Amino acid sequence: MTDAEYDARTDAVLASIESTIDAWLDDDIIDVDQHRTGGLLELQFPDRSKIVVNTQPPLHELWLASRRGGYHFKFIDGHWLDTKDGREFFARLSEEASHHGGKALKFIGV
């Protein structure tokens, strides 16, 4: 993957997360504050816990950190997959967000 392809793919991931959270706010599902600075997106949940999604351009990875751990993802066969257990990024993000939010929350991949 070229640097330009990596940038486009990670920008799409971050935009998808932001769009999902905007929809949750509009539909009064959950109040998640989001703050994006370049390739770093912080999500703060009602209990003040956070999830951080961060791009890692030199490694062509996408990182996710929550109070339950940190995860690294590589783009393989059209999906962002965990480098340790192969779990798909949006499935892991949904699981972590549900834990932080105290209710079932689902992100859909791009």
Chain segment 3-58, per-residue pLDDT in tens? 999 999 999 999 999 999 999 999 999 999 999 999 999 999 999 999 999 999 99
* Predicted pLDDT at 39: 94
Find all residues with CB under 8 Å of 72, minimum gap 6, and list them: 56, 59, 61, 62, 63, 82, 83, 84
Query: pTM score, two decimals?
Result: 0.93
CB atoms within 10 A of CB 95: 17
Find all residues with CB under 8 Å of 38, minimum gap 6, and list them: 55
* Domains detected in the chain: 3-101 (3.30.920.10)
* Predicted pLDDT at 109: 80
* Tokens 């640097």, residue located: 3
Contact 27, 106 (CB under 8 A): no
* Predicted pLDDT at 22: 95
